[in-house]
Chain A
Amino acid sequence: MEKTKPTAVALDDATVAFRLADARVYTAVEKARLSIEHGEFVAIVGPTGCGKSTLLNVAAGLLRPASGKVRIFDQPLTDLNRQAGYLFQADALFPWKTAIDNVAVGLEITGVPRKQALERAQVWLTSVGLGAFGNRYPHMLSGGQRKRVGLAQVLIRDPKILLMDEPFGPLDAQTRQIMGNLLLDLWNADRKAVLFVTHDLEEAIALADRVVIMSAGPSARIIGDWRVPLARPRDISEVRMEKDFHALHREIWSVLKDEVMKGYAQSSQAPAGAA
């Protein structure tokens, strides 16, 4: 890959704080330093409530850090991140639009004529395996099918960066594997920079080039960064059998375990605000 390509996403000591109702300040993420190269697939793993999603929202421009900088392809991020596509954890499809309209809308708003937009949307629906479901409304689709539509909706705009917030979280184990393989196939075609948030370490290792671990919140920090030595292209269910996979899993888990216990202890004491 070309060396000249600038870093896709760079967080320089980004600290994110929220003002609580009683005027105290809650620091969600403290001095996060993270960079994602062009074409790199990075997974962020951490215990529940550690601010993984917060970090993603900072990269998306939906949240502004209290201190520190965010740079997207070497440009400081001041508004929404126009280079990024965001796949949300919760249902984010427009419920009043059919599947194909949901996919086409991303093109339509940039001024592509409706007919062309629908044609391209049909191609994308087919590539996520839903070619025959274009006229269904979101409530007529299963959870996995909705995620596929969401993926097509984001990818049709051809964003340079893909931000994913536990996108397969609500799905069952088999569907998750199928979705993971679908994601890897699509990503392999043009290798966007991906920032993938999950609480599932196995999923992270199976998908990513790098796995980043966060500590339990509040004031969560990045406490580890591992390169995944597994060859591509990968098959999610097969890669889990490999020796390197197990070795890396054990290594990361030894660090992550303490944080998970800490996070669990905290969330069972006080009603945690954010997931």
Chain B
Amino acid sequence: MSRPVLLLCQLLVAVVVLGLWQLLATVPIFGRMLLPPFFFSNPVDVGSQIVAWFSSGVIWKHLLITLWESILAFTIGSLGGVMVGFWFARQPRVAAIFDPYVKMVNALPRVVLAPIFTLWLGLGIWSKVALGVTLVFFIVFFNVYQGVKEVSTTVLANGRMLGMTERQLMRHVYWPSALSWMFSSLHTSVGFAVVGAVVGEYLGSAAGLGYLIQQAEGVFDVAGVFAGMFVLSAFVLLIDFAVTLVERRLLVWRPDAVEGRG
């Protein structure tokens, strides 16, 4: 399929879905509305809500808050994951001792931590950041741990035979290998940073996209809920695009640089 044709087909899907939605939500069929507006709203209302948000400018504040929370969660979670991952991989004894606890914490659905974080850190951004950190940390941690442990033995032996000291091996062999694993999970971990932020906002906050959706839901404003969802997915798509750009730049050396492993 050529590119314009593909684009046309993709556009067609959106038009058909939105058209059906609008039709079934506004025109009664056999005297009955198949999509009652109270529960489903309609695309025109959702669209005008989005336009209203952007034209009045209220949305920017919420977007910025969510973005800031995601960035903080990602940065702190990644730094922690890289450090602990490295530490555990180089000290198998430490890893063995902490192993059951790591598994236990990772097995916990992170949402249940939200009330605790709200109690500890209040309703501001930090309780959301904390939730995101618990999600990001484990992804980065497991990837870095794996990356350091699975350095090719031949490459490692080669480094040794070339005369590298333990510190030089760290810099020229372990570190790049671990980073490549971390970057391969970049999409997943960035995605989880956003999830942490939005879920945290939804469960209790005064600003952010999650707050916006939760507020709309609280007053049965279905158009607002849908509008929030659309803005949120556009937001995540944009971030994902940025991540792809970063990844292309950083993983040029890898044959499968674009796909990633996460």
**Does B bind A?**
yes
Which A residues contact B (CB, under 8 angstroms)? 60, 62, 80-82, 84-86, 88, 90-98, 105-106, 109-110, 137-139, 153-154, 157
Q: Are B163 and A157 in contact (CB under 8 A)?
A: yes
Q: Are A92 and B157 in contact (CB under 8 A)?
A: yes
B228-253 to A contact mask, C-beta < 8 Å, 1/0: 00000000000000000000000011
Measured between beta carbons, the chain A residues less than 8 angstroms from B122 are: none
Q: For the complex, what is the distance from the CA of A81 to the CA of B160, rounded to whole Å? A: 10
Chain B contact-residue range equals 20 to 34
Which of B158, B165, B176 is within 8 Å of A88, CB to CB?
Answer: B158
Measured between beta carbons, the chain B residues less than 8 angstroms from A84 are: 161
**Quick one: closest B residue to A90, CB to CB?**
B154
Does B254 touch A at the CB level, under 8 Å? Answer: yes
Q: Are A94 and B154 in contact (CB under 8 A)?
A: no
Q: Are A86 and B172 in contact (CB under 8 A)?
A: no
Measured between beta carbons, the chain B residues less than 8 angstroms from A96 are: 176-177, 180, 253-254
Q: Are A109 and B164 in contact (CB under 8 A)?
A: yes
**Quick one: closest A residue to B168, CB to CB?**
A109
**Quick one: closest B residue to A88, CB to CB?**
B154
Query: 6 tightest A-B contacts by CB?
Result: A92-B158, A96-B176, A86-B161, A137-B253, A139-B255, A90-B154
Instruction: State the total of A-B contacts with C-beta under 8 angstroms.
Output: 66
**Quick one: closest B residue to A140, CB to CB?**
B255
Answer whether A91 and B154 are a contact pair too, CB < 8 Å, given A106-B162, A106-B163, A153-B162. yes
Which residues of chain B (124-180) have a CB below 8 Å from chain A? 152, 154-155, 157-165, 168, 172-173, 176-177, 180
Measured between beta carbons, the chain A residues less than 8 angstroms from B253 are: 95-98, 137-139
Q: Are A109 and B172 in contact (CB under 8 A)?
A: yes
Query: In the assembled complex, how far is the CB of residue A193 from the closest CB belonging to chain B, in whole angstroms?
Result: 16
Measured between beta carbons, the chain B residues less than 8 angstroms from A86 are: 157-158, 161
**Quick one: closest A residue to B255, CB to CB?**
A139
Query: In the assembled complex, how far is the CB of residue B216 from the closest CB belonging to chain A, in whole angstroms?
Result: 47
Not counting A95-B254, A105-B162, a sample of 18 additional A-B residue pairs whose C-beta atoms are within 8 angstroms of each other reads A60-B161, A90-B152, A90-B154, A91-B154, A92-B155, A93-B158, A94-B158, A94-B159, A94-B173, A94-B176, A95-B155, A95-B253, A96-B176, A97-B172, A97-B253, A106-B162, A109-B172, A138-B253
Q: Are B254 and A139 in contact (CB under 8 A)?
A: yes
Measured between beta carbons, the chain A residues less than 8 angstroms from B172 are: 94, 97, 105, 109
Measured between beta carbons, the chain B residues less than 8 angstroms from A105 are: 162, 172
11 A–B contacts, CB within 8 A, in A order: A60-B161, A62-B161, A80-B160, A82-B163, A91-B154, A92-B155, A96-B176, A96-B177, A96-B253, A98-B253, A153-B162
Measured between beta carbons, the chain A residues less than 8 angstroms from B164 are: 109
**Quick one: closest A residue to B163, CB to CB?**
A109
Q: Are A62 and B162 in contact (CB under 8 A)?
A: no
Q: Are A62 and B157 in contact (CB under 8 A)?
A: yes
Measured between beta carbons, the chain A residues less than 8 angstroms from B161 are: 60, 62, 80-81, 84-86
**Quick one: closest A residue to B155, CB to CB?**
A92
Measured between beta carbons, the chain B residues less than 8 angstroms from A138 are: 253
Q: Are B163 and A92 in contact (CB under 8 A)?
A: no
Q: Are B180 and A109 in contact (CB under 8 A)?
A: no
Measured between beta carbons, the chain B residues less than 8 angstroms from A154 are: 162
Q: Are B252 and A137 in contact (CB under 8 A)?
A: yes
Q: Which of B154, B173, B253 counts the most chain A CB atoms within 10 A?
A: B253
Q: For the complex, what is the distance from the CA of A88 to the CA of B134, rounded to whole Å? A: 42
Query: In the assembled complex, how far is the CB of residue B168 from the closest CB belonging to chain A, in whole angstroms?
Result: 5
Query: In the assembled complex, how far is the CB of residue B83 from the closest CB belonging to chain A, in whole angstroms?
Result: 20
Answer whether A109 and B160 are a contact pair too, CB < 8 Å, given A90-B154, A94-B176. no
Measured between beta carbons, the chain B residues less than 8 angstroms from A82 are: 163
Q: For the complex, what is the distance from the CA of A61 to the CA of B152, rounded to whole Å? A: 19
Measured between beta carbons, the chain A residues less than 8 angstroms from B254 are: 95-96, 139
Measured between beta carbons, the chain B residues less than 8 angstroms from A90 are: 152, 154
Measured between beta carbons, the chain B residues less than 8 angstroms from A98 are: 253
Answer whether A157 and B162 are a contact pair too, CB < 8 Å, given A96-B253, A137-B253, A139-B254. yes
Q: Are A88 and B157 in contact (CB under 8 A)?
A: yes
Q: For the complex, what is the distance from the CA of A185 to the CA of B161, rounded to whole Å? A: 23
